[in-house]
Structure formats: C-alpha cells, structure tokens
Amino acid sequence: MNAVATSEKQGEVGIITIDSPPVNAFGIAVREGLHGAINAFKADDTVKAIVVICAGRTFFAGADISEFGKPPQEPLLGTVFAGIEDAGKPVIAAIHGTALGGGCEFALVCNFRVSVPSAKLGLPEVKLGLLPGAGGTQRLPRIVGPELALDLMLSGRQVGANEALKLGLVDELVPEGALLEGAVAFANRVIAEGRPVTKVRDRRDQLDAVADKAPIFAAARAKAAKASRGYMAPENIIKAVEAAVTLPFDEGMVRERELFVELRDSTQSAAQRYYFFAERQGGKVPGLPADIALRNIAKVGVIGAGTMGGGITMNFLSAGIPVTLMEMTQEALDRGIGTIRRNYENSAKRGRITTDEVERCMALITPSLDMADLSDVDLVIEAVFERMDVKKDIFSRLDAVAKPGAILASNTSFLDLNEIAGATARPESVIGLHFFSPANVMRLLEIVRGEKTADDVLATSLKLAGKIGKVPVVSGVCDGFIANRIMTPRREQCEAVILEGTPPELVDKAIYGFGFGMGPFATMDLVGLDVINRSEPYRTVKQDLLDAGRRGQKSGAGYYDYDENRKATPSPLVANIIADVAAERGIPQSPPLSQDDLIARTLYPVVNEGARILEEGIAIRASDIDVACILGYNWPLYTGGPMFWADSVGLPKIVAELRRLASIHGPQFEPAPLLVKLAESGGSFTG
C-alpha cells in the first residue's frame, strides 16, 4: 500500500480505492499501490471478493503518457494485471467517469465490471499512435467480437455505459452517486451465489461466432487506408486482432507486445503523444495569475451574419449561450439565420442532434439591425470584411454602445489588432478571437493578445474557448498571426517551384505524400481561384488562369482540367501558361524537383518562419505553433506539427539546406538566428 492506494474491508469484500489526481493514470505509484493492495487481499482468507474503485473525477485514464520514453519501472502494467487475473477470487471494477486505454484494459482483466450510467469506456490508444498494449487487443474481441472490437480500437471512440451493458462490456449498472454501495452489493451477490470466476482470456465464443473473418479484416483495412492514411497504428491494431482470432491467448499476447513496442518506439507515436500534451498546453499563459477574477459571459453579440459570423454564432448557441446577431440589412440577416438553421437541421438529419435541440439553439438568437441592441451583451465578436477602415468604424461605434466591462473582439485574420483597439477608449477590453472556417467545425481558436489587452480579458477568453469546445492558442499581433503567417511560405514556395519547371501535379503529390489532405493546387481549385486571388505587382499564373475563365473545380478547370465527376487531370494549357509567365518574368528553368527536395523547399521555410515567430515572442512556445498548424491547416498530426517535425528531421540538416537555398534563390531563405542557435548548440524546439 502507498499514498495513492487505500484498502478497507466491508464484511467479506475487500475494497481498494485509488486516488491519484488528476485522472488516476497508471503511473508507477498507482501500479505499486494497486499491486501491493491486490497481493495483500489475495493473501487474506477472510476476503472473498475484491472491488477496485477510483476517487476523483474518473476511473483509470490509462497508462501515464508522460512515462513513455523513460526507462520502465516494475511493477509493469502487465505484472499488475497478471496479479489480478490470477487473484483466485473475483475482482470487480467499479467504474465512473471514463475507463480509457489501460483503464479499460484493467476492467477487462477483472472478472466483473459494474458502472454508473454516466460512465464511458474506450480504447483511444490509436490517437496516441499506439495500440491497446495491456491485453486489450486480445480481450476486447473475446467480449464483443472482432468486428466491433476493430471498430472501437480503430476509431478510439468511447462507449456509454448503457451500450457497454448491451455489449457485455459491463455486467451491471448501479445508480449514479452510489457506485461503491452498488459494487459491494454486487460483490456480495457474487460471493453468495458462488458465481464461477471466469476469465475473459478463456472465452472463445465471440471469436468463433463468425466462420469466415477475412472480410472483416479486409473491410477494416480498406476503411483505415482511407480514414487514417499514413498512420502506422491502425495496421498494427488489425494485425493484433488477427492474432487474437488465430492464436492461443498467450501467443496472441506476445504478438500484441511486439506490435505495441514497434509503435511505442516510433517517431509517429512520439509525435502523437507530444501533441496530446501540446493541445493541453495552449491554454496556459505564463504570468497569468491562476486566481484571476474572470468576466462573466452570459450573452454574446456577433456582428456579421456571413459564413464566418454564422459559424461563430453557432458555437455559442450550441453551448447554450444566447447571441444577438447583427447585420446591415434584413436580407443579409435572414440569409445568415437561414444558413444557421440549415446547418443545424443537417446535423439533426445525420442524427448528431435532436430536432428539439435545433429549436433550442435557434431560439437563442436575437436578430438585430441596430448596434444599440448590443448594449446588454458581455462579449461582442466582429466578423465583417477585412478592411481596417471598416473595422475601426465598427469598433468606435461599438465603444459608444457596449456596456462597461464588455469584451470587444475582432475575428480579423491578419489586420493590426492594436490599431483596431486604438479606435476605442477601452483598448484593454479588446482582443482578437480568430476562428477558422467553418467556424462551427474547426477546433482551433487563435486568441490574439493586443499590446493593451487586460489579463482578465485574456483569461476569460481562454476559459470561454474551452466552454465552446475550441482549442486555444495565444498569439501576439503580427500579419497573419501564427497559423496563417507560418503557412504563407509554403504557398509562396509552391507557387515559385512551378515557375521553375516542376509541374503542379508533382508539387501536389509531394505535399499529399507528406500527409496533408490535399496538395495546394488541388486545394486552390476546390476553394475557387477567384476567392483566393490577390493582386500582385507582377504577372501571376493564378491571374492568367482566371483570365482564361479557369476558376477551379466549379468552372470545370483551374490548375487542372476536371471531368464531369470532378476527376482532375494535368492540363497542357496550364503548362503553357506557366511557361509563358516564367519566360516573361525571366525565371530560370530547372528539371522537376524530387519529392524530398520539394518537401525541403516548401516546408523548411515554414519551420524557419516558426523560428521567427518564436524569436519575436508571437507564440509562447513551439508546441502552440504545432497545434495551430495541425488544427488550422491540417498539418499531418503524426509528424507532430512543423516544429516537432523539424526536431525529428534534425535542425543542422534544415539550416544547411536553407543556406543552400539562400545561395541560389536569395536571402528570404536565410535561417533565422534562433534556428541557427539551436542547431549549433544541439538544442531543439520541442525537447
């Protein structure tokens, strides 16, 4: 026994309570405590059954993710679990909160599982680039069958207690708030009835239920290839479940271990584990007092009911916060509210929300054509076009009507927030809340801290982000803030290399191959060249394409030609346009770049920009940049984001390549001082 494990006896039932905040992860103290307590009850003949329960907000949240990569310490999880499985007396898991990963696997090792109705179980290891490595891949298929087990382990989704009961994952539900009493009563019944102490490992009924399992594995592979292209963990999970089906239990466990270790030691899993903590870091701002009094946000105003304003509004409605939605004309207001309704109704059609919830959300909107209606809201978010004069006008008028203490936020994606704040007499209450489109779906929220933004305004915004389900990243004021700024060099370099002789389809292939969902040219065609074109002081390919009526997929042609099924093929006409533009601008031609050279050319400058963003103090930490790129630009998560990726590539290699590029293409490639310093001192961005 130790500080985290306490034991007591109620009659013939031994109760072990684990209390290791915040989430009862299986760190060394928990493993030692649990192992010792189980052994003590095993040796105690007066104890006929054992209940394991957790204190605090949740059942075991799985292995301690921060311990991966450190030397293993006995007792290992496998040792603890073996002790439970061989206890020789019934062990009952009493579940509340979430039983995740190793926590769920622990429950599967126990002979019985009881839970409160609000509890959830799941094996989310796939999200950490791992597989359930404490017997989960062998035991879960023995309870729910290989098909559902694959679904649960490949998606990492959680199963509610009611569904778990139906699946046989849980044996009994006990009333909310009475878990211990319910579990002890259950244990007493098991003792009284002399129920056989069966072990999940000894079951084969669910494994043998379907004779031909090949189609199940083929379907899982096909789905994983699409849904998780580039990720290693899904294939190893599938292999482990194949082992569960074909091998005796002990051999299956050996196979699971091999497959687990391969993942655990991979850069991918290191990246995904890093990302787990990175997301949770974003909300932490050094110097912000933990006990700072927050402003109360009970009612919100949104100015602009276009795509952005509408999406922003939905976040608050879904969280039950009323919104006054303001527009210039009745027509724009009606259109915006119509779109919001349609979006909710589509969610209802897909079964994500009920029709009652649609109406509940819609009833929270107060439409308005008059800024004076914003006088009673606690936070206003402006989401109108990106023009400084328009924004300044709105903020000065807003300043006149908003109540004292109201937070005035702009959704600007690149304008100077300090200048906007300067249009008010309360710059301390002005902040940037930069949502990404579609704002009701994308999880990233860049919180832009102006020169004068008050601490309580920042702290309130961080808290609010959590309330509306966003992952916050704090940015200083600069052109493009973190995500848009850091990704600009990728766009610029992709556009540059096609003028030097690498065709767009090769660039797209390289970027897609790196793990992005789409290459930049295919993306521009999807979004519409007219939407993203900007005027430049020189002739551009994009402008020529637009002049030729090639607006992208919607016009049947852009950087590619499209057939009636929107299948893209490279276009000779585009090749000619590119050659013309290059000739007119006197750009020297070279042979097409290789995949590796394309990645270095287009993504090392992103890393370099990240270094500058850190140097300037725009981002608090490198991991915030990674979160912004992964959530804002779909940067492949399994690389950990640009800064983690840079560390895994090796900073000296990146510096050398940037210097080589600078010698050919000019000083914009010169490595940032911070990057050089880290490379020369053996340092890293994220270590």
Output 105 or 505, the one with its CB closest to ligand 3H9: 105
Provide the phi-psi class of 320: left if phi over 0, else alpha when psi is between -120 and 50, else beta.
Answer: left
| Residue 134 beta carbon to ligand 3H9: minimum distance, rounded to whole angstroms | 4
| Greatest pairwise CA separation for the chain in angstroms | 92
| Candidate residues 101, 304, 520, 610; the one interacting with ligand 3H9 per rule CB under 6 A | 101
* Residue span binding ligand 3H9 (CB under 6 A) among the ranges 10-18, 61-69, 111-119, 590-598: 61-69
Task: Kindly list the distances between the CA atom of residue 619 and the CA atoms of 413, 476, 579, 610, in Å, as whole numbers in the listed order.
Answer: 15, 7, 39, 9
84 binds ligand 3H9 (CB under 6 A): no
25 binds ligand 3H9 (CB under 6 A): yes
72 binds ligand 3H9 (CB under 6 A): no
| C-alpha to C-alpha distance for 396 and 392, rounded to whole angstroms | 6
| Candidate residues 4, 15, 16, 23; the one interacting with ligand 3H9 per rule CB under 6 A | 23
Output 103 or 641, the one with its CB closest to ligand 3H9: 103
| Residue 357 beta carbon to ligand 3H9: minimum distance, rounded to whole angstroms | 22
| C-alpha to C-alpha distance for 52 and 140, rounded to whole angstroms | 20
Output 72 or 586, the one with its CB closest to ligand 3H9: 72
Q: Are 403 and 323 in contact (CB under 8 A)?
A: no
125 binds ligand 3H9 (CB under 6 A): yes
The pairs formed by 539-547 with CB atoms below 8 angstroms and a separation of 24 or more are 539/581, 539/584, 539/585, 540/495, 540/581, 541/495, 541/498, 541/499, 541/574, 541/577, 541/578, 541/581, 542/495, 544/577, 544/580, 544/581, 545/574, 545/577
HSE on the CB side for 414, CA within 13 Å? 11
100 binds ligand 3H9 (CB under 6 A): yes
For CA atoms 360, 362, 363, 365, the dihedral sign is: positive
| C-alpha to C-alpha distance for 51 and 37, rounded to whole angstroms | 11
141 binds ligand 3H9 (CB under 6 A): no
Output 275 or 559, the one with its CB closest to ligand 3H9: 275
DSSP code for 216: H
Catalytic site includes residue 327: no
Output 66 or 589, the one with its CB closest to ligand 3H9: 66
* Residue span binding ligand 3H9 (CB under 6 A) among the ranges 98-106, 184-192, 408-416, 529-537: 98-106
| Contacts of ligand 3H9 in 211-270 (CB under 6 A) | none
| Contacts of ligand 3H9 in 543-582 (CB under 6 A) | none
Strand partners, 493: none
| Candidate residues 7, 17, 20, 58; the one interacting with ligand 3H9 per rule CB under 6 A | 58
66 binds ligand 3H9 (CB under 6 A): yes
| Residue 230 beta carbon to ligand 3H9: minimum distance, rounded to whole angstroms | 20
Output 22 or 71, the one with its CB closest to ligand 3H9: 22
71 binds ligand 3H9 (CB under 6 A): no
HSE on the CB side for 55, CA within 13 Å? 13
* Residue span binding ligand 3H9 (CB under 6 A) among the ranges 132-140, 175-183, 340-348, 502-510: 132-140
| C-alpha to C-alpha distance for 168 and 163, rounded to whole angstroms | 9
* Residue span binding ligand 3H9 (CB under 6 A) among the ranges 28-36, 64-72, 473-481, 671-679: 64-72
| Residue 326 beta carbon to ligand 3H9: minimum distance, rounded to whole angstroms | 34
For CA atoms 127, 128, 131, 135, the dihedral sign is: negative
Catalytic site includes residue 125: yes
Marked catalytic residue, from 8, 12, 67, 105: 105
22 binds ligand 3H9 (CB under 6 A): yes
| Candidate residues 5, 38, 61, 462; the one interacting with ligand 3H9 per rule CB under 6 A | 61
* Residue span binding ligand 3H9 (CB under 6 A) among the ranges 99-107, 235-243, 364-372, 521-529: 99-107
Output 22 or 586, the one with its CB closest to ligand 3H9: 22
Interface with ligand 3H9: number of residues (CB under 6 A): 26
277 binds ligand 3H9 (CB under 6 A): yes
* Residue span binding ligand 3H9 (CB under 6 A) among the ranges 123-131, 208-216, 341-349, 638-646: 123-131
Q: Are 542 and 525 in contact (CB under 8 A)?
A: no
65 binds ligand 3H9 (CB under 6 A): yes
- Strand, coil or helix: what is 583? helix
Marked catalytic residue, from 32, 85, 125, 235: 125
Which tokens go with 395?
């903020």
98 binds ligand 3H9 (CB under 6 A): yes
Amino acid identity, residue 671? P
In the complex, residue closest to ligand 3H9 by CB: 101
| C-alpha to C-alpha distance for 372 and 606, rounded to whole angstroms | 44
| C-alpha to C-alpha distance for 530 and 514, rounded to whole angstroms | 27
Output 18 or 187, the one with its CB closest to ligand 3H9: 18
| Residue 100 beta carbon to ligand 3H9: minimum distance, rounded to whole angstroms | 4
For residue 227, report the phi and psi dihedrals to the nearest 5 degrees.
-80, -30
| Residue 123 beta carbon to ligand 3H9: minimum distance, rounded to whole angstroms | 7
Within 8 A by CB and 6+ apart from 200, the residues are 108, 109, 139, 142, 143
| Candidate residues 64, 327, 378, 495; the one interacting with ligand 3H9 per rule CB under 6 A | 64
134 binds ligand 3H9 (CB under 6 A): yes
| C-alpha to C-alpha distance for 567 and 595, rounded to whole angstroms | 23
Task: Kindly list the distances between the CA atom of residue 549 and the CA atoms of 186, 530, 553, in Å, as whole numbers in the listed order.
Answer: 73, 10, 11
CA nearest neighbour of 101 among 57, 129, 148, 134 = 134
| C-alpha to C-alpha distance for 107 and 95, rounded to whole angstroms | 8
Output 56 or 528, the one with its CB closest to ligand 3H9: 56
| C-alpha to C-alpha distance for 612 and 620, rounded to whole angstroms | 12
Output 383 or 471, the one with its CB closest to ligand 3H9: 471
HSE on the CB side for 51, CA within 13 Å? 29
63 binds ligand 3H9 (CB under 6 A): yes
| Residue 467 beta carbon to ligand 3H9: minimum distance, rounded to whole angstroms | 12
280 binds ligand 3H9 (CB under 6 A): yes
Residue in this structure with the two tokens 């929300």, named with its chain if needed = 353
Q: Tell whether omega for the bond before 72 is within 30 degrees of 0, i.e. cis.
A: no
Output 99 or 478, the one with its CB closest to ligand 3H9: 99
| Contacts of ligand 3H9 in 394-413 (CB under 6 A) | none
Output 58 or 324, the one with its CB closest to ligand 3H9: 58
Question: Cα-atom radius of gyration of the chain, to the nearest Å?
Answer: 28
Interface ranges with ligand 3H9 (CB under 6 A): 22-23, 25, 58, 61-66, 77, 98, 100-102, 105, 124-125, 128, 130, 132-134, 136, 277, 280
Active site residues: 105, 125
